[in-house]
C-alpha cells in the first residue's frame, strides 16, 4: 500500500510550519482515503498523461494478490472468490424457491447508486437491522478496506460505530450467516474519490454474483470459483479494450477541460442504461469537485421513465432534476455556446440513429460546436462518423456463452462507458485546477465523510493541529473570524448542513491557515485567482513555503518507483 507524504516544508513568513514529515502518516487512513503514488502529480499533467494515470489506477482493480502484502485480499484472492460464491449460492436458493427472505448488498455513495439501492447516510443502520433479523436477512457488506480500517467515529443519534457493526458482520461471516466482500483495490486516482474504482468494482461484484446465480438456476448447474473467475476476467478484458483508445479519450478530456476552463459546460446525451451512467457521472461532480450542478449534466431518453425509480418523475423539483432528451432539446440546446462540449453515448443501430430526432436536431443546430461520439457496439457509416469531432468506436471480444451473452455485453458497455466518462469529468476538473496534487481540494463538505476528509486535507497541507484545522474549517463555513462556543459545540451534522450550501470552503480554510489571515482576505485571494490549485500555490509561494530537496526528488520520480 502506497504511502504519500509531504516532506518538511518551511514557511519563512508570517509563521513557520513543519508539514507532515511523519513517514507513516497515511497508513492510519483507510486504503480508499489514501493518495495513490501513480497520480501524485496528476494536477500538473496533460490530458494524455491523465488518461494513462487513470488506466494504471483502474488496472489495480485486477492485480493479483501480492505475497509481500499478505494482509490485503485482492479481487482474485481465494477468500474473496469464496465469499462471492457463497453469496451467489444464497441468491441461487432464493431464485429457486422465492419467499420473504432477501439478500441485501449494502453500499454507500456511488456504490449505492450503481447498485440502484437507496444510499443510506450510514450503512451501519441498514446492516444492524439485518443482523438483528437473520431469519429474514443475510447481511452482506461490500467495501474496499479491511475491517480494522472501518470508520470508528461516533454516529450522531446512534449507539454503534460503523467499525463495531463491521466486526459483527465479520463474526457472522465466520459462521456463514453473513458475508464481507472487501477486496483491496488500491487508493483512488483522486484520493477518496470512490466514485471511480470503488464504483466500478461494486458494479463488477454485483453483476458477477447475481448473473452467476441466475445462470446456475437456468441451467441447473453448480456455482464454482471458476464461473466467477471467468466473468471477472471478462471485465479485465474490458479494461484493456477501452484503454486501447487512450489517445481519443485524451482528446475528449482536453476539450472537456477547455470547456470548464472557460466556464462552459459538458453535456452527456445517452440512451438507456448508458444514459443513466452519464447522469450518475455528472451528479458526482458536485460533491467531488465543488462543481455547480449545471457544469456537467447528463440526459437520457424518456427521462425518469428510463430510470424506473420508485418516486417517478422528479423534474418538478427544479431544472437540475430535468434529465430527458426532450428537456435538453427545448431548454438546454438553445443556450449552447461555442465552448460547450456535447458527448453522445449509445449502442443503437446507426440507421436508427440517423433518423433519431435528438441527434438530427443537435447536428443541425450546433454543427459548428464540439460534439463527440462514444459508440460501444456498432461500426457507424463513414458519413455519420464524420459529423463528430471525435468518434470512439469500441468492438468486443467473444462472449463467455450465448445464454449469458446479452447481459454480459450490456454490462461491458456500461462499465466501459463509466470508465470513459469518469476520465472525461475527472480529467476536465483536473485541468480546471480543482485538484491539488491528487486531492479533491475544492470538495463540497456535504456529509460526515467529506467533513472528515476536509479536516485531513487541512492537516496535510498546512501541518497544523487537528483542533486548529477544525477551527479554521468552521471559520470558513460560517464566514467569520470569531467563533463563539455555541458554534464550536453544535453537532457536526449542523456544520455540514450549513457547509453544503457554501463554495470553496476547504480552499478558504487552507489559505487562512497558510497566510494566518482573515476569512475575508482568504476569499479575496481566491477570487483574484479563479484556478484553485494556482491560488493555493501562490499563497504558499508568497508565504515562503518551499519544498525541500528531498521532496523535489520524490516528485521527480516516475509513478510506482
Angstrom distance (rounded) from CA 357 to CA 43: 39
pLDDT tens sequence across 322-345: 999 999 999 999 999 889 999 888
Task: Identify each DSSP E strand in 307-412 by its residue range.
Answer: 341-346, 370-375, 390-393
- Between CA 224 and CA 216 the distance in angstroms is 10
Q: For residue range 64-74, what is the model confidence (pLDDT) as tens digits?
A: 876 555 568 99
Closest CA to 159 of 118, 131, 180: 131
Q: Of 266, 247, 282, 248, which Cα lies nearest the Cα of 422? A: 282
Rg value, the chain, Cα: 24
Distances (CA, A) of 332 to 265, 266, 269, 305, 357: 11, 11, 12, 20, 15
Q: Is 168 a residue whose pLDDT tops 70?
A: yes
CA atoms within 13 A on the CB side of 283: 16
The phi-psi region of residue 308 (left if phi > 0; otherwise alpha if psi is between -120 and 50; otherwise beta) is left
**Nearest CA among 521, 493, 495 for reference residue 508:** 521
The reported pLDDT for the residue numbered 445 is: 93
CA-CA distance, 472 to 442, in Å (whole number)? Answer: 15
Name residues whose C-beta falls within 8 Å of residue 128's C-beta, 6 or more positions apart in sequence.
Answer: 160, 165
With CA atoms as reference, report the closest residue to 475 among 507, 519, 527.
Answer: 519
Q: Count the residues in the chain.
A: 561
User: What confidence tens digit (pLDDT) does each residue in 147-161 have?
Assistant: 898 888 777 777 888
Q: How far apart are CA 269 and CA 455, in angstroms?
A: 37
Band of pLDDT at residue 203, cut at 50, 70 and 90: very high
Give the per-residue pLDDT at 20: 38
**Domains along the sequence of the chain with CATH:** 9-35+439-556 (1.10.8.1080), 67-223 (3.40.50.10490), 242-431 (3.40.50.12620)
Residue 278, pLDDT > 80, answer: yes
How many angstroms separate the most distant Cα atoms in the chain?
73
pLDDT digits (tens, 9 = 90+) for 283-317: 999 999 999 999 999 999 889 999 888 788 999 99
Distance of CA 317 to the CA centre of its chain: 25
Dihedral, CA of residue 508, residue 459, residue 454 and residue 37, to nearest 10:
110
- Enter the DSSP assignment of 295: T
The residue assigned the cell 460526515 is 448
Q: Where are the beta strands (DSSP E) in 408-455?
A: none
Amino acid at each position: 500500500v502506497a504511502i504519500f507524504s509531504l516532506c518538511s516544508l518551511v514557511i519563512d513568513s508570517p509563521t513557520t510550519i513543519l508539514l507532515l514529515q511523519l513517514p507513516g502518516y497515511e497508513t492510519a487512513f483507510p486504503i480508499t482515503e489514501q493518495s495513490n503514488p501513480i497520480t501524485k502529480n496528476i494536477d500538473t499533467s496533460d490530458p494524455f498523461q491523465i488518461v494513462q494515470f487513470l488506466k494504471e489506477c483502474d488496472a489495480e482493480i485486477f492485480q493479483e494478490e501480492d505475497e509481500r502484502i499478505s494482509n490485503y485480499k485482492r479481487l482474485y484472492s481465494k477468500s474473496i472468490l469464496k465469499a462471492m460464491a457463497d453469496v451467489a449460492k444464497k441468491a441461487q436458493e432464493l431464485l429457486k424457491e422465492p419467499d420473504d427472505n432477501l439478500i441485501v448488498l449494502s453500499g454507500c455513495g456511488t456504490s449505492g447508486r450503481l447498485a440502484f439501492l437507496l444510499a443510506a447516510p450510514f450503512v451501519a443502520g441498514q446492516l444492524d437491522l439485518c443482523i438483528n433479523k437473520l431469519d429474514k436477512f443475510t447481511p452482506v457488506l461490500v467495501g474496499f478496506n479491511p475491517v480494522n480500517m472501518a470508520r470508528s467515529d461516533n454516529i450522531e443519534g446512534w449507539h454503534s460505530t460503523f467499525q463495531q457493526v463491521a466486526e459483527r458482520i465479520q463474526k457472522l461471516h465466520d459462521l456463514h450467516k453473513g458475508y464481507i466482500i472487501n477486496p483491496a483495490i488500491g487508493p483512488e486516482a483522486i484520493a477518496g474519490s470512490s466514485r471511480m474504482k470503488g464504483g466500478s468494482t461494486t458494479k463488477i461484484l454485483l453483476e458477477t454474483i447475481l448473473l452467476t446465480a441466475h445462470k446456475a438456476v437456468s441451467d441447473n448447474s453448480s456455482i464454482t470459483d471458476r464461473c466467477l473467475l471467468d466473468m471477472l476476467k471478462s471485465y479485465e478484458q474490458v479494461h484493456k479494450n477501452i484503454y486501447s483508445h487512450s489517445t481519443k479519450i485524451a482528446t475528449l478530456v482536453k476539450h472537456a477541460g477547455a470547456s470548464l476552463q472557460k466556464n462552459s459546460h459538458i453535456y452527456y446525451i445517452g440512451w438507456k442504461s448508458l444514459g443513466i451512467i452519464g447522469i450518475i457521472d455528472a451528479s458526482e461532480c458536485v460533491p467531488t469537485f465543488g462543481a455547480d450542478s449545471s457544469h456537467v449534466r447528463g440526459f437520457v431518453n424518456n427521462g425518469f421513465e428510463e430510470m424506473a425509480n420508485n418516486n417517478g418523475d422528479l423534474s418538478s423539483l427544479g431544472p437540475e432534476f430535468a434529465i430527458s432528451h426532450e428537456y435538453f432539446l427545448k431548454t438546454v440546446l438553445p443556450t449552447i455556446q461555442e465552448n460547450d462540449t456535447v458527448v453522445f453515448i449509445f449502442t443503437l443501430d446507426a440507421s436508427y440513429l440517423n433518423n433519431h430526432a435528438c441527434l438530427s436536431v443537435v447536428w443541425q443546430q450546433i454543427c459548428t460546436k464540439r460534439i463527440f461520439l462514444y459508440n460501444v457496439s456498432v461500426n457507424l457509416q463513414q458519413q455519420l462518423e464524420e459529423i463528430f469531432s471525435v468518434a470512439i468506436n469500441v468492438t468486443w471480444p467473444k462472449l463467455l456463452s450465448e445464454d449469458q451473452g446479452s447481459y454480459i455485453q450490456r454490462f461491458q458497455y456500461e462499465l466501459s462507458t463509466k470508465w470513459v466518462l469518469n476520465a472525461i469529468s475527472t480529467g476536465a476538473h483536473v485541468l480546471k485546477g480543482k485538484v491539488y496534487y491528487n486531492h479533491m481540494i475544492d470538495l463540497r463538505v456535504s456529509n460526515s465523510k467529506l467533513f472528515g476528509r476536509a479536516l485531513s486535507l487541512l492537516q496535510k497541507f498546512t501541518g497544523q493541529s487537528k483542533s486548529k484545522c477544525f477551527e479554521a474549517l468552521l471559520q470558513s463555513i460560517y464566514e467569520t473570524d470569531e467563533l463563539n462556543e455555541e458554534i464550536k459545540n453544535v453537532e457536526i451534522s449542523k456544520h455540514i448542513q450549513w457547509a453544503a450550501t457554501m463554495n470553496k470552503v476547504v480552499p478558504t480554510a487552507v489559505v487562512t491557515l497558510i497566510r494566518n489571515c482573515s476569512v475575508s482576505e482568504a476569499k479575496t485571494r481566491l477570487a483574484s485567482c479563479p484556478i484553485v490549485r494556482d491560488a493555493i500555490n501562490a499563497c504558499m509561494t508568497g508565504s515562503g513555503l518551499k519544498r525541500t530537496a528531498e521532496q523535489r526528488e520524490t516528485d521527480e520520480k516516475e509513478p510506482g518507483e
